Amino acid sequence: MLLRQLEYFVTVARERHFARAAEACYVSQPALSTAIAKLERELDVTLIHRGQNFEGLTPEGERLVVWAKRLLAEHDGLKAEAAAMRTGISGTLRLGIGPTVSTTSALPVAAFCGLHPLAKVAISSRLSSPELLRQLHDFELDAAIAHFGPDDRAGLEVVPLYKEHYVLLVSGDQLAPGARTITWTEAAQLPLALLMPHMRFRQFIDKAFADNGVVAVPQIETDSVASLYSHVATGTWASVVPHTWLRAIPATGANRAVRLVEPETTAQISIAIHAGSSSVAARAFVNVAAGAALDKEFDLQRSDYVADLGRA
């Protein structure tokens, strides 16, 4: 069995098309098909349903493609480990992040690159939670920073980083100038712009409203926190954003942040890597991120904006 055969098999499973897979592997389609057929003979199983075109993986193929991805990832990890011994960590760390943590991830990334100047980081920030988990399990990502629930942790090593607090972002005269807090029940009565319903952060928000016996019905829904800021700036809508975004995009001008209370709700943000088969770069990044004291960093920033509200 050759690694090349596993690579061809994994690529066909990903592309679901023999010609596209051959193009991605820089080989002819007959060469790719021959290599996969040889792999099937060696394993004594049929991996792919074949007709005139690709018709999907067999049940055996669905199970064995997971092993193939793991073996290829281990091979890449072996090469990266050897390179790290020679020259330090290099190559590219593939990092997936949830949309609400797209600004906070800059802190551990900066620390990681400072310690490992030969390394590069490729960040995917527009992934849904299911897609982020899929890519992590399929070894398409080395690490991910997001909300991870109890059902998300199988096969992963998950390390807590910080807790997200929720604030109401408003502008104009929607609230009295001196208001420092607002309840979830009161916030539900405002014209709202919120993240899309399928997004994990929005689901936390909806639960917080529901726990107070109210339902928020936003007029605007988007998949971008930056878009929420722009809609609030018009003075027409309010929104709920993570308090960490106030570090990257402070509430300036007409915009201001007000703490959401009764209750003051939080959500845990963590970093996840493959359990037992992660790359040397992924483990180094976890060590950097866990040591960055992000909870303390963002709690200090949160104290700053609360103090600013007190001076308003």
List, for residues 157-194, the tens digit of each pLDDT value: 999 999 988 999 988 777 766 778 899 999 999 999 99
Q: Where does residue 117 rank: exposed (0-12), middle (13-18), buried (19+ CB within 10 A)?
A: exposed
Statement to judge: residues 203 and 307 lie in one domain: yes
Question: Using CA atoms, how far apart are residues 78 and 190, in angstroms rounded to an integer?
Answer: 55
The domain in which residue 225 lies consists of 163-267+303-311
Report pLDDT for 311.
40
Report pLDDT for 29.
85
Statement to judge: residues 96 and 214 lie in one domain: no
> If DSSP codes are grouped into helix, strand and coil, which group holds residue 215?
coil
> In the predicted model, what is the mean pLDDT of the chain?
83
Statement to judge: residues 100 and 36 lie in one domain: no
- What CA–CA distances, in Å, run from 175 to 4, 121, 168, 180, 195? 63, 42, 11, 10, 21
* Complete DSSP assignment for 88-146: SS-EEEEEEE-GGGTTTTHHHHHHHHHH-TTEEEEEE----HHHHHHHHHTTS-SEEEE
- In this structure, are residues 32 and 13 in contact, taking their beta carbons and an 8 Å threshold? no
Which residue has better confidence, 51 or 64? 64
Output the domain CATH number for residue 39: 1.10.10.10
29-38, 62-71, 120-129, 206-215: segment of lowest average pLDDT = 62-71
Statement to judge: residues 263 and 170 lie in one domain: yes
What is the SS3 string spanning 232-276?
HHCCCCEEEEECCHHHHCCCCCCCEEEEEECCCCEEEEEEEEECC
Statement to judge: residues 60 and 29 lie in one domain: yes
Statement to judge: residues 225 and 263 lie in one domain: yes
- Residue 176: how many other CB atoms lie within 10 Å: 7
Question: Using CA atoms, how far apart are residues 113 and 121, in angstroms rounded to an integer?
Answer: 8
Statement to judge: residues 187 and 66 lie in one domain: no
70-79, 102-111, 200-209, 221-230: segment of lowest average pLDDT = 70-79
- Residue 63: how many other CB atoms lie within 10 Å: 12
Report pLDDT for 83.
61
- Is residue 30 predicted with pLDDT exceeding 60? yes
Statement to judge: residues 97 and 235 lie in one domain: no
- In this structure, are residues 181 and 131 in contact, taking their beta carbons and an 8 Å threshold? no
Statement to judge: residues 151 and 55 lie in one domain: no
Report pLDDT for 48.
86
Statement to judge: residues 58 and 195 lie in one domain: no
Statement to judge: residues 65 and 15 lie in one domain: yes
Which residue among 72, 99, 130 closes a domain?
Answer: 72
- This prediction's pTM: 0.69
Average the pLDDT over 248-272 and give the result: 82
Main-chain phi, psi angles of 28, to 5 degrees: -75, 155
Question: Using CA atoms, how far apart are residues 232 and 30, in angstroms rounded to an integer?
Answer: 57
Which residue among 50, 72, 94 closes a domain?
Answer: 72
Q: Residue 86: pLDDT band by 50, 70, 90 thresholds?
A: low
Which residue among 52, 72, 92 closes a domain?
Answer: 72
Output the domain CATH number for residue 194: 3.40.190.290
- Is residue 65 predicted with pLDDT exceeding 70? yes
Residue with tokens 């995917």, as numbered in its chain: 124
Report pLDDT for 307.
41
The total of structural domains in the chain comes to 3
Statement to judge: residues 209 and 64 lie in one domain: no
